[in-house]
Amino acid sequence: MLNRVQTCGYAKKVVAKGKGKGMLKEELKGPEVCKDAFRLTTHAVGVNIFKQGEDPKLKPPEEYPE
């Protein structure tokens, strides 16, 4: 009487009940886009990786090496 079929003991998939009515879904927001033409031409916008401080100012072309 040992002719029983063996089954795998894998974990069963969890079925989600409902859609979480009480929880609010957080929306992901992208980075703020600067549309100021003067600031885009005078500063390196987005280069400063630190949260404090401001973006570095662009120098005249004569000050950059070739």
Q: Residue 6: its pLDDT value, please?
A: 63
Write out pLDDT tens, residues 29-64: 877 888 999 999 999 998 888 878 888 999 999 998
Phi, psi of 56 (to 5 degrees): -70, 145
| Domain ranges, ordered by start, for the chain | 32-66
Is 60 exceeded by the pLDDT of residue 1? no
Is 60 exceeded by the pLDDT of residue 20? no
